[in-house]
Every structure is written in C-alpha cells, then in structure tokens.
C-alpha cells in the first residue's frame, strides 16, 4: 500500500528540504534564485517523493533521527552534502524553518 502523506508536518518538512536544496543550488551551482540545475531538481523530486510515501507519516522524526532510512545510498550522500552546506545558512535565509527543524531534532533527543 502506497501512502500519500500530505499533512502539516510532512508539508513543513517538504518546504524545509525544498528550501535547503534551492539554497544549495543557488550558492554552489550559481543558479538564479528559484531555478534548480538538473541534479538538484532530481534530488528535490526524490526527497519530496520519499516524504510523500514516508512510513511514519505525521509522526515522522527528522530524517537524521529516523530509525529506518529510506533514501538510496547515492541520494543519501547528496542530501547529507546539501544539509551540511545549507543547514548553518538557514538561520540567515529562513530562520523560521531553521529554528523549527532544530527544535524538532532537540525534542526527539529527549
């Protein structure tokens, strides 16, 4: 059975990962704001698809804390690279998404 998660938590996760990939592509691949290169567009499509079909749905943790990683190894490496680059910059470019993501990570540690 294929899940189609479209609730508020998944929607916020999609918004966060989309922004991070966009920021990465803009800074690393010199793409104009809002335009993605083919590689980043592919990664974004893959990430959004994984979130839509996430087995945990609205109860999902951040991907970093997930018990069962669903990304293929090649995409897992790509998204880690994007997050390492974009994560620290999120506080400058989109503080709401950054603080929300940090809060969710800290909350799940306890």
Model confidence over 36-72: pLDDT tens digits?
999 999 999 999 999 999 888 888 777 777 778 889 9
Two structure tokens written together for 61: 């943790």
For 41, the 3-state DSSP assignment is: helix
* C-alpha–C-alpha distance, residues 49 and 55, integer Å: 12
**Residues 54, 28 contacting (CB under 8 angstroms):** no
Look at residue 18 and tell me whether its pLDDT is greater than 80: yes
């Amino acid at each position: 059975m294929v899940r189609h998660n479209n609730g508020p938590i998944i929607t916020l996760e999609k918004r966060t990962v989309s922004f991070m990939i966009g920021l990465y592509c803009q800074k690393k691949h010199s793409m104009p704001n809002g335009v993605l290169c083919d590689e980043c567009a592919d990664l974004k499509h893959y990430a959004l698809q994984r979130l839509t079909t996430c087995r945990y749905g609205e109860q999902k943790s951040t991907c970093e804390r997930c018990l069962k990683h669903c990304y293929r190894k090649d995409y897992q490496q790509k998204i880690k690279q994007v997050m390492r680059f974009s994560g620290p910059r999120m506080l400058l470019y989109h503080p709401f998404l950054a603080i929300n993501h940090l809060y969710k990570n800290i909350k799940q540690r306890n």
